[in-house]
Chain A
């Protein structure tokens, strides 16, 4: 079974631009979550999508948004990029079919975003 894939792997943008990151979950997984990891920080939760609906949201500004498609693929968008948005953005999927163990999340390799 193929793992979680994320594209692109690396991205360089300038301040003020916007960016869209893509995530394809493991086949059959219905939940997709996005995280931001910066040096010295843990994984900061951005949001989670399930059945094309945002189910949970972390404490990030409205510049960060996402969506999920009917095939469970998800995209994350960051508008008006700031230098502080430079980070590794990780996507994770889970089956979410019942029981806590189904919430074990499987991560993609991440997209390294650099804002200059």
Chain B
């Protein structure tokens, strides 16, 4: 049972435009959400997080939005840069310390 779903396996965006990565979840008990970025041959790198009591968190070019009623999470990257090309994983924390990941979305930013 996949509790965190990233339905788009890949996304291609032009440099300078906005990248929107989406994530849906099924467990209403999730209390914290995170986004990770992964380059080939490297481990995932923590990017940005959001608590379930908030609906938006911003850090530079990265903004995460949380819609609890829709059980939907999104990551906006603006403006997108070629170096942003990577696999992006959304993840959720529940029961205090359990972490579950989505399958990932490959982002390609074209210059």
Contacts and interface: CB of A to CB of B under 8 A. Distances in A.
Contact of A43 (B41, B44, B46): B44
A37 to B, nearest CB: 9
Nearest to A90: B43
Contact count band on B: 20 to 34
A103 interface: yes
Contacts of A81: none
B99 A110 contact: no
Chain B interface, DSSP helix/strand/loop, else mixed: strand
A107 B46 CA distance: 8
Contacts of B100: 45
A104 B43 contact: no
Interface of A: 4, 6, 31, 33, 35, 40-43, 45, 48, 50, 55-56, 90-92, 96, 100-101, 103-110, 112
B41 A100 contact: no
Given A43-B104, A109-B42, 15 more contacts: A31-B97, A40-B103, A42-B101, A45-B101, A48-B98, A90-B44, A91-B43, A92-B44, A100-B49, A100-B51, A103-B32, A103-B99, A106-B46, A107-B36, A109-B41
Interface of B: 6, 31-32, 34, 36, 41-46, 49, 51, 89, 93, 96-104
Of the listed residues A45, A55, A105, A110, the one surrounded by the most CB atoms of chain B closer than 10 A to its CB is: A105
Given A48-B97, A100-B93, A101-B49, A41 B103 contact: yes
A77 to B, nearest CB: 20
